[in-house]
Every structure is written in C-alpha cells, then in structure tokens.
C-alpha cells in the first residue's frame, strides 16, 4: 500500500475462485481479512512470505485476525503410520491437527478429522487390507489457523513386505557371523 494509505479497508472484492473479500489494514499492515465463499472449495491466501489454505464451504464466511502472527512451519515432525493405521507425530504445544486420507487412486485427500488434540490417532474407519495404497496428510493448526504446510505418509503393502525381508536378511547375516 502507498504510505499515504497507512490505514483503510475495502469490502466486496471478488477474487479468483468466487470468494468475496473484505480487508482492513492499520499502520500499513493487514489487520483483518473476511472471506465469504460463494461456491466452496480451497481458498489460498498469500501474504508476504506466508501462504494459508482454507477448505471452504459455499455460503460460509471466514475471518482471519492478526495475520502478522500467523506462521507456517514446514511440516509436522516425526510423522509415521503403522500398518494397523495408527498415526503418530511429535506434539507441538498449542497445536491441534487436521488429518486427511486418500486411498488407492484417489486424486484428492478427504478429511478424516479436524481440530484433533494429541499426537496419536487410530483410523478405525477403513481396513488397510481392503486397499492397495493409503496416504495420510497431517497439518498443524494453531490459534484456529493452519500452522504447517502438512506432512504426508504413504502406505502400501509392498512397504511392509520389504521391511520384513530386510529384517530376515539382517537376522540371517547376524546369525551367520
């Protein structure tokens, strides 16, 4: 914004994806963004070096306050998934988590749970044996906003076969020596 516009606001700007935007700023810094989703779907917000993604629903409004405090970490750390579909990760104080899943040839993730508290989640909604590939994505949420770009973990049956073969080979080598 030009220096002479150190504070101000606008309403009703229609952005790509059919989102109606209202925005205010103070001391040349964005202080509030209101986004009304006219058709639903993902809304990507870019501000300085930050990028946030909201999964919106048609007709709903979303408000982002104090955007300066929002920061995105690169990923959720130490994210692993066992073959019985137990997800684990390193807990970050003050964060909740969004867990998404894609099975087999799905082109998009679907929401499993949002605003989950803790660092372990057991996915009891599907059976791994019924699928060739299961992928999970976990994103940290802090103060109601996405706090990470998300981490992914892909499971397929070959992964566990290779692990078992490796264990057998290592075991045999140790036994032979």
For residue 125, the 8-state DSSP code is S
CA distance readout (Å), 143 to 65, 67, 93, 163: 10, 11, 11, 39
Q: What was the pLDDT predicted at 53?
A: 77
Cα separation, 122 vs 68, in Å, equals 35
| Between 105 and 144, the higher pLDDT residue | 105
**126 pLDDT above the threshold of 90:** yes
Q: Domains (ranges, CATH) in the chain?
A: 3-69 (2.60.40.1180), 80-161 (2.60.40.10)
> Which pTM was predicted?
0.55
Q: What was the pLDDT predicted at 145?
A: 60
**10 pLDDT above the threshold of 50:** yes
Task: Identify the band that residue 47 occupies on the pLDDT scale cut at 50, 70 and 90.
Answer: confident
DSSP β-ladder status, 61-65 and 8-15: unpaired
């Amino acid at each position: 914004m030009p220096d002479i516009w150190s504070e101000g606001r606008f309403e009703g700007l229609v952005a790509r994806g059919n989102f109606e935007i209202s925005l205010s700023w103070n001391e040349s810094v964005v202080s509030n963004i209101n986004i009304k989703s006219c058709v639903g779907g993902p809304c990507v917000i870019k501000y300085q070096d930050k990028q946030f993604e909201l999964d919106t629903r048609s007709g709903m409004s979303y408000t982002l306050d104090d955007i300066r405090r929002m920061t995105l970490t690169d990923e959720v750390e130490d994210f692993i998934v066992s073959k019985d579909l137990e997800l684990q990760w390193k807990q970050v104080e003050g964060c909740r988590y969004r867990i998404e899943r894609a099975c087999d040839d799905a082109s998009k993730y679907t929401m499993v749970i949002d605003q989950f508290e803790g660092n372990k989640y057991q996915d009891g909604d599907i059976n791994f044996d019924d699928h060739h590939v299961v992928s999970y994505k976990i994103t940290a949420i802090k103060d109601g906003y996405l706090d990470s770009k998300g981490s992914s973990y892909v499971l397929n049956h070959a992964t566990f076969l290779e692990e078992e073969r490796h264990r057998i080979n290592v075991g045999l080598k140790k036994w032979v020596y």
